[in-house]
Amino acid sequence: MSTSVKILGFCAFLCSVSADYWSERDAILKKEASRALGAHLRLSDREEKVNKILMSYKLKELDDGMLHPENFLGGQHFFKAKKGIERSKVFSIIQKLPKGASLHSHDTGLVSYEYLYNLTYMDNLYVCINSGPYRLHFFTDKVNGDCEWQLVSALRRLNSSFDDDLKKRLTLAVDNPYVAYPTTNDVWKAFEGIFMAVAGLLGYAPVWREYFYEAMKELYEDNVKYLEFRGILPEVYDGNGKIYNQYEVVGLYYDTLKKFVLDYPDFQGAKFIYAPNRKVDNKTFHEYLEIFEKLKRGYPNFIAGFDLVGQEDLGSPLSSFIDELLIMKQNGTEFFFHAGETNWQGETPDFNLLDAVLLGTKRIGHGFALIKHPEVMKLVKHKDIAVEICPISNQVLKLVDDARNHPASVLIANDYPVVIAPDDPTFWGARGLSYDWYVAFMAMTSRGDDLRFLKQLAMNAINYSTTTGNQREEVYEQWEKDWSTFLEDVLINDNVIG
């Protein structure tokens, strides 16, 4: 056999082997892509056109990021990336997109920082300045003597640095968060200090009503028309010295919701999850149960269920209250537990995930540590338990530095029942859901994940809400109308690719 024939034979063999290799490689990639969240959806012709526009913007940002990694917004800390995100064309489309529902946020962190700060210009607001967190309080008559209270408006006139200091006390946003907050405990201490500072500001009854109205309005403007939020039910007071109990505070929420729905008839409503602090003893926990039962009896269609909040690493684990929680479960209580909001593995707070699932939680708040528990992952998938992912919160509170490394990427790639939520957008300068959705779409999905992913997120938010029956149908009907409007808007206003 001639040398040329041997070479030709070898080339044919090599080409065959190479073709088999590339065929196998392509099959694996296609199989992986087919498993991702939203991959099973089929887009209509209009959706395909919108998807082409959206993906042109996404791929441009990704390609620019590959060339200049330091400029990639999805890999930056949110405090640095925020202004760039607001200029992103991907972000502008996500803002227009109807997102179904917001399922994980907290009562005193619902609004934009700008709105919160502007409240400090109201009349009769006083501040208590001591070595710890500031305290803010409205006094319309006599100032109480538990502190050396000073009128905020007077301090602004007399002290040019006061305003800057107050601004810093109401946000976690800083120029260098890695220096300001060396550890998780440091950032949580600052975080809890803000909650203490705003308690008296937001707890003034006239403000409380306006604040909740504004929270729903900001969601509405971000194309979110249904809300489920958690709350500790802090002390609310008025100018006559009245202190509202927890039942009355829920009444303020409920009355404000009714007013908002009258003003915005296509808003589909809100529900409340009673979520007091987890760092308590059993005596206090029993008081929680009494409060919850009273709330549930009085507002059965507004109270969605029960949770415990606060830093998991330093708070009481769910296992401390198993007997009581089992009784609540037996009585029909719906749970929406924070669990797995920790970087620890095999430690006490890490096991909250297992206890939450065994107790029948309907959704898991954060679930950051979930992928470290393969058996719990199986249960979550089998029981169809939604995982409420809050990307910006997880970064700000020092669970992950670069959102591309967020463990929820694994859940998204395997079509787990994920929803994306904002947690406490007030305190890091976000607003509504769009910022978190942008981070998830640009940093936590594959290059090829497209409009189907975003559409599935919106549908998940509705599917894993507590809406049922006619209300679920009405929420879906409104969302489908808004989705159609969104498609037309993008095709008219964004159909210039560049």
Q: Is the pLDDT of residue 373 over 70?
A: yes
170, part of any domain: no
Token couple for 479: 């969302």
Encode pLDDT of 227-274 as tens digits: 999 999 999 999 888 999 999 999 999 999 999 999 999 999 999 999
Q: Is the pLDDT of residue 5 over 70?
A: no
Residues 6+ positions from 353 with CB-CB distance below 8 Å? 339, 340, 364, 367, 369, 370, 373, 376
Split at pLDDT 50, 70, 90, the class of 141 is confident
Reported as type and span, the H/E element at residue 387 is strand 386-389
Round the average pLDDT of the chain to a whole number and report it: 94
Within 10 Å of residue 413's Cβ, how many Cβ atoms?
18
279, part of any domain: yes
Contact between 95 and 437 under an 8 Å Cβ cutoff? The reply is no
362, part of any domain: yes
**Residue 377 maps to which CATH number?**
3.20.20.140
Nearest one of 276, 379, 246, 274 to 333, comparing CA atoms = 274
Q: How many residues does the chain have?
A: 498
**Which position has the token pair 């169809």?**
384
For residue 498, the model assigns a pLDDT of 44
Candidate list 341, 373, 388, 406, residue with the active-site label? 341
Provide the residue range defining the domain that includes 241: 94-118+204-484
468, part of any domain: yes
89, part of any domain: no
224, part of any domain: yes
Q: Is the pLDDT of residue 8 over 80?
A: no
324 among known catalytic residues? no
14, part of any domain: no
441, part of any domain: yes
The model carries a pTM of 0.95
Burial of 396 (0-12, 13-18, 19+ CB in 10 A): buried
For residue 25, the model assigns a pLDDT of 87
373 among known catalytic residues? no
Token couple for 366: 């954060």
Candidate list 104, 106, 137, 366, residue with the active-site label? 366
According to DSSP, residue 227 is labeled: E
Angle between the 78-87 and 434-443 helix axes, to the nearest 10 degrees? 100
Buried b (16+ CB within 10 A) or exposed e, 136-152: bbbeeeeeeeeeebbbb
Nearest one of 263, 80, 82, 66 to 175, comparing CA atoms = 80
For residue 150, the model assigns a pLDDT of 92
Average pLDDT, stretch 31-37?
Answer: 94
**Which position has the token pair 């393969």?**
374
Token couple for 331: 């009585």
Buried b (16+ CB within 10 A) or exposed e, 90-105: bbbbbbbbbbbbbbbb
Q: Which has more confidence, 110 or 21?
A: 110
Into how many domains does the chain fold?
1
For residue 146, the model assigns a pLDDT of 78
Buried b (16+ CB within 10 A) or exposed e, 183-220: ebeebbebbebbbebbbbbbbbbebbbbbbbbbbbbbb
| Largest distance between two CA atoms of the chain | 109
According to DSSP, residue 496 is labeled: -
